[in-house]
Structures are given as C-alpha cells and as structure tokens.
A and B are shown apart, each in its own frame.
Chain A
Amino acid sequence: MNLDLTWRLLKGGGRKGLLGVWLTLGAVAVSTALLLFAVAANLAFDARAERGAWRNPVPAAGDAVAVEASRFDYVRDQVITVVDLAALRPDAAPPPGLPRFPKPGETWLSPALAELARDLPPAELGDRYPRRAGVLGDEALVYPGELVAVVGHAPDAPAMTAERSDDWIVAKPPVRVASLAGTPSEDAEAYKVLAVIASVLMVVPLLVFGGAAARLTVARRDRRLAALRLVGATPGQVVRMTVAEAVLVALAGALAGAVAFALAVPYLTRIEIQGGAWFAGDLFPGLAVLAGVLVAVPLLVGLSAVAGLRRVVVSPLGVAKRETPPGMRFVRVLALLVVLAVFPMLTQGTSVAIVAVALGLAFLCLNLAGPWVVGLIGRITAGTARGPARLLAGRRLVDDPRSAWRTVSGVALTGFVAGFLGLLSPGAFAVDDRPLQLRVLAPAGQAEQVAGQARERLAAAKVPAVVTVVKRTVVAAPSGPLDTAGMDRARTALAELVPGRTATTEADEGRFGEQILLDVRVGTIVVLSVSFLVAIASAGITAASSVLDRRQTYGLLRLAGTPLEVLDRARRAETLIPLGVMGGGAILVGAFCATPFMIGGISVAGVVTLVVCVVLGFAGVIGAGALSRPLLRSVTADPAPRPD
C-alpha cells in the first residue's frame, strides 16, 4: 500500500489541513472516552450484581449446607442489609468476604457499619449487633461504604425458622442453600436493564457523531481527492490512501481517549447510584474490552471514511462542483412513525436484549427523521429571516441538515427523558406527613405479648412512646417529637423483638421506590451530560470545519466589508436554533408527559438540576462554537485568499 504517499497527503494538507486532522483526532478521542464509559458502566453494574449475589439465596435442589435469610434495617436514614446465616454442616463454605462461616451469635459488620457502630452510642446502633467477630471484606460489598451486617445463627434458631415477609423489597425468608454463591437479585437485574438503556441513549448519538468525525477527514480532502481522481488516480488508490489516513488518525485519537477515560475514572466513581459510590476497579473495563475498543474504533472510522468516499469515487465531479444535495424525503419521518407504532408491541417481550434492540431501532429512526426536521426548521428560519445572519443560518441548515442534527441529536434524544424525570420527585410517591411510627408484624396470636415487650424495651431505652396493636401489627408511636438519634434508640430497642423481622416505618418501606427514582434521575443527568458533551464536541467540530470549508468565501466576504459579527452570529444561530427547537422541544414534551404523574407537585430540586444542566449545556455549545472564532479571524485575515 501507498503508505508513503498517505503520509505526504496527511502532511501536505498544510496548516489548515492539519487542523482538520487534529479536529478528527479530538473527536475520536472524545467518542472513545465516552464509549469506554458506556461500556464500563454496564460492566460496573454487572460487577455490583455479582458481588451482591451471595445475599440472594438460591434454594438447594439436593443437599443443603446452610440456611440464609436477609432483611433490611435502618440507621441514621441509611439502609443496613442484614444477612442471617446458619450452617447445616460444619464444612459449609463461608460467603465472600468472610474468612470463615459465622458461628451462632456472632456478627460481622462491613467496615463502614463497624465504624458507625464505634462512633454512635451503643444504644443507637451497637447493641443491635452484639458479639462482633470481625469486619467483612470488600468482596462482600456492592459498593464501598455499604452498610452490611452478617449474623450467625443456629439452624433451629427462631430467626432462621420464623416466617418472614415474602416481599423482596422488605426481606427474604430463610432458604436452604447448597452454596452461598446466590444469584443477582431482582433489583440488581433491574439496574442492569436501566444501564443498558442508558448506554443505548449515549452510544447512538456517539456513533453518529464519531462517524461524522471520520467523514470530516474525508471532507477536508474532498476537493483534493476529487482532483486526484480527475488526473486519473484509480478509485482503489484514492480509497486506500484516504482510509489509511483516517485509520491512522483514529488510532491516535482512540489511544488519547482511553487515556482520558482512565484519568476520569477517579471522578466517575463518585457518582452515587443505589445509595453508594463505586469501586475504581468496577469502572475499569478490563484489557480485553479496552483492546476491543481500540481496534473497533479505528475500524469503524475506516468504514465510515469509505462510506464518505463513495461520493468522491462514484462521481468526481459531484464533489468538485458542490451541487445541491438531493432533498430529504418525508419517508424518513414515516419510518419513525412506523417504528413508534410497533414499539409497544416489541417491548412486550421484556427481554433485555429485545428492549435494547427496540430502543436502539427507535433512536436510529429518530436519527433518520431528525435531519428532515432540522431541514424543515432551516426552511422556516430562512423563510422568515429578516436579517442576513438568520438568513445565512437558515440556508446552512437547509444545505446540510445532517451536520446540524449531529450536533443536537444527543440532546434531543435525552431531552425527553430528562424533561420527564426532571419534574418527577423521588418523594412524589411518599407524602412527607407519613406517620413516624415503627411497626412490626407479630407471630399469630402473640401480638399482645409482643406489644408488652415493646413497651418495656422502649421504656428501658427512655423512648416515650405509645404502643398499640392493629390486627397482628404492633405499632410504636413516639409520644412527642423524636430526633434521628431517638429514632435509632427506638430501633435498637426493638431489634430482635420478633425473630427475623425489623420494626420499620412507612418511609422505610417506600425507600426502595424512591431510591430507584433518584437513581434514574442521576442516570438521566449522566446521560444528559454525556449528550451535551457530544453536542459540545460536535458543535466545536462542525463550526471549525464549516469555517475551514468556507475559508475562501468568508475571506472574500470580509474583504468586501462584511462584518465578522454577522458571519459569527450566523454560525451561532446555525447551532442554537435547532438545539433550542429540538432539545428544548424534547424537554418540554417530556415534562408535559410527566405532569399526570406529579402527585406531590413539581420537584424543585429536579427542575433546578435540569435547568442547570440545560444552561451549562447550551453555554458549552455556544462556547465550543465561539472557539472557532479566532480560526474565522485568522482565515479571513489573509488579504488575498486563494483557492487551494
């Protein structure tokens, strides 16, 4: 292959050609870093699910070696996962993170819980877990800082035999297991599905953008290559040279992106999901995946370059003459409508893969329809423009709606979800005047007896409370305001009141739903941030490459006295109009769809986060566009621009 010629072509582009190369490199780097993030996020949720699996027992088919049960307890508004274990055989293997199987009566606490038990008065936490035998290793924890307690029992202890709630959000009843390997829990699986959806949301605009960036290298050389064709280079030669160049640049970009991602990991681990931050190891995608991405990205860029080149190769004159691109058909919108109509049927199958594919398909169709809509916006903008800047912006949108869509697609796709979730408040389902009462279900026929014990214990702990019995439920209502410390004293006093059960408030039980809503919102903000990053990068690239593409015309316009501000305003409007219409529109539609669900009124925090995110995003997009202003100044400064 003609590597030597390729290298000279790469260098021969001159300073401005080289700038195009840098732009591509930067775009590929951003894409690779974000792609790695999307992949790593999925692997991280897998890792969490695997590490938490031991707490979710699988009933033994044959011989059982142990009995396992779990429940949730609460301290200082945080959740504690309590795992009750009893060995049936002396050689039962311990769960991960424990050096040996816990003996009856022993408790093992996670590091964070052990620390909390040391810091708080025993009557508030420590007394719940007597006879502490040691600290759990990280292998037992879903996330660093998780509060977990493992309590050893004898197999015939009441805690291991009494009935428990079979609602998995509250507890898991005792199960005889063949090993403590377990299986990922229902909520872990739910989070994995959400992670896949978030990845699709991030990756689709990313691929669109990455492909566009690849075509940028080609576009930069469109005319040069068309000229090569005109002097008789074979299509094969042209293709090989350009693709080699694109792949070389992409490889460098991918490496830079991988380094950028590695540098970002310490910050990314701080994003709290499921109530906790991440182990750094969870976010490192592993060498195989890394190698895969480093191979796949340049490959995709190469393919994209080939696709972009087809135009040059098929019709050398097409590029040289810069004809009007063929108009886009309404068919694109039709395809979207068809997919949207079929979408509800597709999702019936609830398998993750099918949902992900369906979602991806919907987005791809949105991607097909997007440019059409942008073109429409452009026609409206140009049609109604009064001043020259808006007229130029509108005409540019009509001329190349795809590049404008690339800039805004991610924001538009995420905007809907963000608008929807921004308004929903995690507390929406739970009104805050829920009674602060601890409730626990007593075994049949023992309610009065349990209530009596509860009174004694609460009195001993100096928690003034009224204990009543409602059917089988013992309800302890504090007779006066109670701070969190008092609440924790009450919880500690009532620990083990009913074997295998914890006394909980209504708010405790609503926590799972609130947490998942909160997490979905965090996820949305992450996805929205990524989308805005893509939009910012793509706005920067589009702006710079449009300046480069039109440097001669801009230069001559400036010579003829056109103020740079007009050109600049046009370039800004070119991004902001579609961004505002499509991104803003999507957010509004999402918010509109959320209104029926807003029981507790608008979530102020949600709206504020959304607004901050959107303002930052818009500012970033404007800033990225403004970055090419010096470029515009420099390309128009030459008093005698010449065609090259």
Chain B
Amino acid sequence: MNDVLVGRNLTKRFGQTVALDGVDLAVRTAEAVAIMGPSGSGKSTLLHCLAGIMRPDEGEVHLLGQRIDAMGERRRSALRRTRFGFVFQFGQLLPELPAEENVALPLMLGGVSRQRAVRQAREWFAPLGLRGMEARRPGELSGGQAQRVAIARALVARPAVVFADEPTGALDQRTGQDTMRLLVEATRHNDASLIVVTHDSNVAAWCDRTVEVRDGHLVAMSGATA
C-alpha cells in the first residue's frame, strides 16, 4: 500500500454538465500516470480535483492518508505550494524574472533564504540541458527551454506529486517528446509521482500507465494496473 495520492468516487458538475462521474484513481510513489481522452471529457477537471485546486462535489482525495478535499482554500493552497508541483501548457513563468529566480521562487515562498534558493535552483539547470540559461528571461527562451525551466520549478521544492496539464501542447512533436522524457525522468529521479494530461500517445508512452477519460468516466487502462 504505497499509494501517494488517492481519488475516490470523484464527481464534479458544472450546472447541467457532469464533468466527472464517480472516478477512482490511485497513484503510487514515483509512478507516472498519463491521462488521455477527447477534448471536453473531463481530464483537466480530474487533475484539478486531485491537486486540490477544485473541490469535487462528491468523493474524496487523500494525500498520504490525509484527506485534502475538505480542507479550506488557504490550507489547500499551502499544500499545493509545498507538496505538489505544477507544469502547465504555457505562460507560467514570470516574464521579468531571470530563469533561475523563476525556479527559486517556490523555495523562497517556503521561507528558504534567497541565496540558498538560487543556489539550489541552479543545480537543476545542467541536468535539464539548460546550462548557461540561468540569467535569461522567459522571453529569451525557446518554448521547449521555457517548459524545462517550468519542470525545474515544479520539482525544486521536492514535491510528492507533480501535475502537468498538456505540458507539451504548445511544442512541436520532437521538442514535446524530449520535454516529456525529461519530465518523467526528473520526477522519477526525485521519487515524485507524476500525473500528466496529454493528447499525444507518444508522450503518454513515456509514462508507467495510461488512463483514459470519456464523458467523465475512466474507461480504459493500459500498462501496469493499480
């Protein structure tokens, strides 16, 4: 029983739309799970519910045995900052901060001194193939480079789970695959679990298993089963 994050019977409605309909999903330590499915099927909603961004209408979310969906926004926000990492499709880096400070930001928010935060942040650059990019600003990076900086930022505070919603959606195929490989390797290397939403089955292939969402249900699974 080494499930890090467990979602049980997750249900979410937006007015008449049932975005999630009783979804169960458990993620183990250092496991990478891909969520696939057609547009509008509820992938992002599932991710948001698991990450404590949204509260499900029904069901529960447990992180390491602790129920998180019932927490207040303030505590969930602190939890997201300390226990989770996020990689989004685009535009998550602050344009005026150099790359290394963008990466150091979560550490500084957690109270780490600036010097230590930046020093720790720099250690991520070489492994992610970003050597020499430390002082560049997001506008001066390519899309793939910017996503790798975002990966560094998601991992720098040593989270338990990294959530990624179409992290390669704005990249071309090759860059997307490279970025995905780096994301999976880096999270695994840090003993973090990864939940990634994607449309690209090549991208999903980098993960340990894939779940598919259709009309708010988990319909199929491939790879190792839970």
> Which residues on A are within 8 Å of B, measured CB to CB?
321-324, 385-388, 391-392, 395-396, 398-400, 550, 552-553, 556-563, 566, 639-640, 643
Q: Bound state CA distance, A303 and B66, in angstroms? A: 60
- Known: A561-B78, A639-B54; 14 extra A-B contacts, CB below 8 A, are A321-B139, A322-B139, A324-B137, A385-B114, A388-B109, A391-B108, A395-B101, A396-B96, A561-B77, A561-B81, A562-B109, A639-B53, A643-B89, A643-B90
Task: Check A556–B114 contact: CB distance below 8 A.
Answer: no
Task: Check B114–A559 contact: CB distance below 8 A.
Answer: no
Q: Quick one: which of A322, A553, A561, A566 contacts B92, CB cutoff 8 A? A: A553
Q: Bound state CA distance, A639 and B80, in angstroms? A: 13
Q: Quick one: which of B82, B94, B97, B108 contacts A387, CB cutoff 8 A? A: B108
Residues of B within 8 A of A556 (CB): 86, 88, 91-92
Task: Check A323–B109 contact: CB distance below 8 A.
Answer: no
Report the nearest B residue to A387, measured CB to CB. B108
Task: Check A324–B86 contact: CB distance below 8 A.
Answer: no
The reply on B84 being an interface residue by CB < 8 A is: yes
Q: Bound state CA distance, A395 and B98, in angstroms? A: 9
Among A321, A392, A561, A643, which residue has the most Cβ atoms of chain B within 10 A? Answer: A561
7 contacts between A and B (CB under 8 A): A322-B95, A391-B97, A392-B96, A395-B101, A398-B96, A561-B81, A561-B109
Task: Check A399–B48 contact: CB distance below 8 A.
Answer: no
The reply on B120 being an interface residue by CB < 8 A is: no
Number of interface residues of B (CB under 8 A): 36
Task: Check A559–B140 contact: CB distance below 8 A.
Answer: no
Task: Check A324–B139 contact: CB distance below 8 A.
Answer: yes
Q: Bound state CA distance, A559 and B51, in angstroms? A: 9
Which residues of B63-103 have CB atoms within 8 Å of chain A's CB atoms? Answer: 77-82, 84-86, 88-97, 101
Task: Check A643–B77 contact: CB distance below 8 A.
Answer: no
Whole-angstrom distance between the Cβ of A104 and the nearest chain B Cβ: 80
Residues of B within 8 A of A322 (CB): 95, 138-139
Whole-angstrom distance between the Cβ of A194 and the nearest chain B Cβ: 42
Q: Quick one: which of A553, A559, A561, A643 contacts B94, CB cutoff 8 A? A: A553
Residues of B within 8 A of A321 (CB): 139
Residues of B within 8 A of A563 (CB): 77, 81, 109
Contact string against A for B residues 111-149, beta-carbon threshold 8 Å, 1 for contact and 0 otherwise: 001100000000000000000000001111000000000
The reply on B44 being an interface residue by CB < 8 A is: yes
Report the nearest A residue to B88, measured CB to CB. A556
The reply on B176 being an interface residue by CB < 8 A is: no
Residues of B within 8 A of A553 (CB): 91-95
Task: Check A559–B96 contact: CB distance below 8 A.
Answer: no
Whole-angstrom distance between the Cβ of B82 and the nearest chain A Cβ: 7
Report the nearest A residue to B90, measured CB to CB. A643
Q: Quick one: which of B54, B81, B85, B95 contacts A399, CB cutoff 8 A? A: B95
Q: Bound state CA distance, A560 and B48, in angstroms? A: 11
Residues of A within 8 A of B154 (CB): 560
Q: Are A388 and B108 also in contact (CB < 8 A) when A560-B80, A561-B79 are?
A: yes
Residues of A within 8 A of B167 (CB): none
Whole-angstrom distance between the Cβ of B118 and the nearest chain A Cβ: 10
Q: Bound state CA distance, A550 and B92, in angstroms? A: 10
The reply on B56 being an interface residue by CB < 8 A is: no
The reply on B106 being an interface residue by CB < 8 A is: yes
Q: Quick one: which of B54, B81, B138 contacts A562, CB cutoff 8 A? A: B81
Whole-angstrom distance between the Cβ of B21 and the nearest chain A Cβ: 19
Q: Are A560 and B139 also in contact (CB < 8 A) when A392-B94, A639-B53 are?
A: no
Task: Check A323–B139 contact: CB distance below 8 A.
Answer: yes
Q: Bound state CA distance, A561 and B95, in angstroms? A: 19
Whole-angstrom distance between the Cβ of A640 and the nearest chain B Cβ: 6
Residues of B within 8 A of A386 (CB): 113-114
Report the nearest B residue to A563, measured CB to CB. B77
Whole-angstrom distance between the Cβ of B196 and the nearest chain A Cβ: 16
Q: Bound state CA distance, A392 and B108, in angstroms? A: 11
Whole-angstrom distance between the Cβ of A534 and the nearest chain B Cβ: 25
Report the nearest A residue to B52, measured CB to CB. A561
Q: Bound state CA distance, A244 and B221, in angstroms? A: 56
Task: Check B92–A557 contact: CB distance below 8 A.
Answer: yes
Q: Quick one: which of A395, A559, A566, A643 contacts B97, CB cutoff 8 A? A: A395
Task: Check B80–A559 contact: CB distance below 8 A.
Answer: yes
Residues of B within 8 A of A557 (CB): 92, 94
> Which residues on B are within 8 Å of A, measured CB to CB?
44, 48, 51, 53-54, 77-82, 84-86, 88-97, 101, 105-106, 108-109, 113-114, 137-140, 154
Task: Check A399–B78 contact: CB distance below 8 A.
Answer: no
Report the nearest B residue to A562, measured CB to CB. B109
Whole-angstrom distance between the Cβ of B115 and the nearest chain A Cβ: 9
Q: Bound state CA distance, A396 and B95, in angstroms? A: 9
Whole-angstrom distance between the Cβ of B34 and the nearest chain A Cβ: 19
Residues of A within 8 A of B51 (CB): 559
Task: Check A552–B91 contact: CB distance below 8 A.
Answer: yes
Q: Bound state CA distance, A324 and B141, in angstroms? A: 11
- In order of increasing CB-CB distance, the 7 nearest A-B pairs are A561-B81, A561-B80, A399-B96, A322-B139, A556-B92, A395-B96, A388-B108
Residues of A within 8 A of B84 (CB): 560-561
Whole-angstrom distance between the Cβ of B194 and the nearest chain A Cβ: 15
Residues of B within 8 A of A400 (CB): 96
Q: Bound state CA distance, A342 and B222, in angstroms? A: 80
Residues of A within 8 A of B88 (CB): 556, 559
Q: Bound state CA distance, A560 and B165, in angstroms? A: 12
Task: Check A323–B91 contact: CB distance below 8 A.
Answer: no
Q: Bound state CA distance, A121 and B162, in angstroms? A: 91
Q: Bound state CA distance, A530 and B138, in angstroms? A: 39
Among B93, B97, B137, B154, which residue has the most Cβ atoms of chain A within 10 A? Answer: B97
Task: Check A561–B82 contact: CB distance below 8 A.
Answer: yes
Residues of B within 8 A of A643 (CB): 89-91
Residues of B within 8 A of A399 (CB): 95-96
Q: Bound state CA distance, A391 and B85, in angstroms? A: 21
Q: Bound state CA distance, A252 and B82, in angstroms? A: 49
Residues of A within 8 A of B86 (CB): 556, 559-560
Whole-angstrom distance between the Cβ of B116 and the nearest chain A Cβ: 11
Q: Bound state CA distance, A510 and B48, in angstroms? A: 76
Report the nearest B residue to A559, measured CB to CB. B53
Q: Bound state CA distance, A31 and B101, in angstroms? A: 38
Among A398, A399, A550, A556, which residue has the most Cβ atoms of chain B within 10 A? Answer: A556
Residues of B within 8 A of A562 (CB): 81, 105, 109
Whole-angstrom distance between the Cβ of A635 and the nearest chain B Cβ: 13
Task: Check B92–A560 contact: CB distance below 8 A.
Answer: yes
Report the nearest A residue to B44, measured CB to CB. A640
Q: Quick one: which of B106, B108, B137 contacts A560, CB cutoff 8 A? A: B106
Residues of B within 8 A of A391 (CB): 97, 101, 108, 114
Q: Quick one: which of A324, A392, A558, A560 contacts B140, CB cutoff 8 A? A: A324
Task: Check A388–B105 contact: CB distance below 8 A.
Answer: yes
Whole-angstrom distance between the Cβ of A458 and the nearest chain B Cβ: 78
Among A321, A550, A553, which residue has the most Cβ atoms of chain B within 10 A? Answer: A553
Q: Bound state CA distance, A355 and B92, in angstroms? A: 51
Whole-angstrom distance between the Cβ of B156 and the nearest chain A Cβ: 12
Whole-angstrom distance between the Cβ of A453 and the nearest chain B Cβ: 82
Whole-angstrom distance between the Cβ of A83 and the nearest chain B Cβ: 66
Q: Bound state CA distance, A556 and B54, in angstroms? A: 14
Q: Bound state CA distance, A557 and B95, in angstroms? A: 12
Whole-angstrom distance between the Cβ of A405 and the nearest chain B Cβ: 16
Q: Bound state CA distance, A321 and B143, in angstroms? A: 10
Residues of A within 8 A of B97 (CB): 391-392, 395
Report the nearest B residue to A385, measured CB to CB. B114
Residues of B within 8 A of A639 (CB): 48, 53-54
Q: Bound state CA distance, A396 and B139, in angstroms? A: 14
Residues of A within 8 A of B94 (CB): 392, 395, 550, 553, 557
Residues of A within 8 A of B96 (CB): 392, 395-396, 398-400
